[in-house]
Amino acid sequence: MARRKRNTSKTLDVAQQRALSLEVIDPDIDLGRDMSLEQYRQQIQDMQDILSRYNRGLSNVDQLQKQVLQKERNLNDMNSRMLAAVAARFGRYSQEYQIIGGARPGGSSLQPSARPTLET
């Protein structure tokens, strides 16, 4: 499932609108204390850049997730084929089959079951 991309943010929308309004007041406005229109626009651009990088990162993760799922399907298939090949070579009742995770038909195992204790 693809992750949801963020095309914008409410904060970014407000900042862009506010920057346009400030430009109407004075294109070179400087309100002091590092609050000029130029610095404001730089902050807006930084936000747009990081949002773009974020969305690209999500796309990369989505692609990697697809690759992981495909490799997992391939490995699961090989797991089944390896088990079947051991069963074909050694038999489904063999110790080798059990060693690699196969279950003997009928649920019996090679190990002796616990003996019940006699009650007196």
| Cα torsion 99, 102, 105, 107: sign | positive
Q: 37-90 and 10-25 helices cross at what angle (nearest 10)?
A: 160
Residues 6+ positions from 48 with CB-CB distance below 8 Å: 12
Q: What is the pLDDT of residues 44-63, one digit of tens each?
A: 999 999 999 999 999 999 99
Q: What is the pLDDT of residues 83-111, one digit of tens each?
A: 999 999 999 999 999 999 999 888 655 55
Q: What is the model's pTM?
A: 0.61
Domain-wise residue ranges, the chain = 10-100
Higher pLDDT, 109 or 74: 74
Q: DSSP character for 106? A: G
